[in-house]
A and B are shown apart, each in its own frame.
Chain A
């Protein structure tokens, strides 16, 4: 019955299409440059996996606008999750690759969806273990609300009001999908 439910009722509601995703990223790139007055001392760190792709796209746009190179890092937050001790299965580890010293840089964390804020809390802890950034900013493609921690994004692609049991999913070209953001109407299991 559960299996039948899944195939039958998996409604997808499109909330951003490819051109909207592209325009949102272009705007965020401009906002990053405006707020930081250029590319000096800024670095982008994407949170695995979606955030990493978005960080690369933002860096490309920033380069097109200002001709400045921005270092890009990739952060895996698994070891900093707050539910490790209570999970039965350990989540798969991926590699953190931040090939530059983040101390005194203005680091822009990049993620696809901002939800409870727990991922960002873990990411900030992970980042600070790598050095002491001058500032941490947060860029997200989608803010869907329902925060459980006092965390706020610096740059937001789109605010999407959702109910708790909806699932927001970002599909990206890098993962072999057409760029889009959808709301999936299925009951979610477990913590984010």
Chain B
């Protein structure tokens, strides 16, 4: 039992069977994370390199913990402290890492397609931890895992994804995953943040949050990238928050017991009201906990002998 490819670059390239296999494998690893001794020897002697060209605390820590709980050796590599600042290309740096017998490279990079390029250029397995606006597959997998844990069945589930879908790799990976599994996906946000190709993926687009929330089982809020303010995507944060922020009142429009998700980091009071983020509906911290189990699953499945 393994994934068909040596890498995990995108959700788009996974079959539904592979997605379900990853979720089931992660289930076993959730039990390991609940133990007093949170370590199993499955990846003993393997080396995992975290190669992060963008700031990240959650994802990098999550991958690091996942690898360590599997007994792999972990090296963290960031461009500011490496020869990348001296002008070495991505592939050359990666080949050097590979020459030191790295088994798995976890890459986060600001350019879409960086993970694919790397995967083709090295023999090590490559896991995409976010490449530009393209994909962030392990985030979508941990979101799926969290939904399955709470709701069980993807078929017939209704999920609203709210915010800047145009610039969100999290949204894109989730849309690929959820539509493959037969889930109804609604995209909500200001027209400037909704890409044109969404209808082709079978996603229902809405510009009105109140209307889109009616009857949904899961509300997935995206982070408003405040650094984009002033790029004509939205007039003011206050207006965005009034139109697309999730408040306790709006939450009542969804199905009773609907889940509130957010990939983090959250902007309290902007896209999500503090009382919603801290409510019983919120599974934001479950997502973080499940992230470790899902990444353990992916590392395990990609680490078969060669």
Contact = CB atoms under 8 A, between A and B. Distances in A.
A112 interface: no
A42 B134 CA distance: 54
Interface residues of B, number: 26
B44 A94 contact: no
A94 B42 CA distance: 14
B25 A93 contact: yes
Interface of A: 76, 78-80, 84-97, 125-126, 129-131
Given A129-B37, A130-B37, A131-B36, A89 B31 contact: no
B1 A85 contact: no
Contacts of A84: 42-43, 303, 305
A181 B146 CA distance: 42
A79 B40 contact: yes
B123 interface: no
A125 B31 contact: no
B304 A79 contact: no
A87 B37 contact: no
B52 interface: no
Contacts of B303: 84, 90
Given A89-B304, A90-B2, A79 B36 contact: no
A39 to B, nearest CB: 25
B60 interface: no
Given A79-B42, A126-B40, 6 more contacts: A78-B42, A85-B46, A89-B1, A90-B303, A96-B31, A97-B31
Nearest to B45: A85
A97 B30 CA distance: 11
Contact of A88 (B24, B40, B305): B305
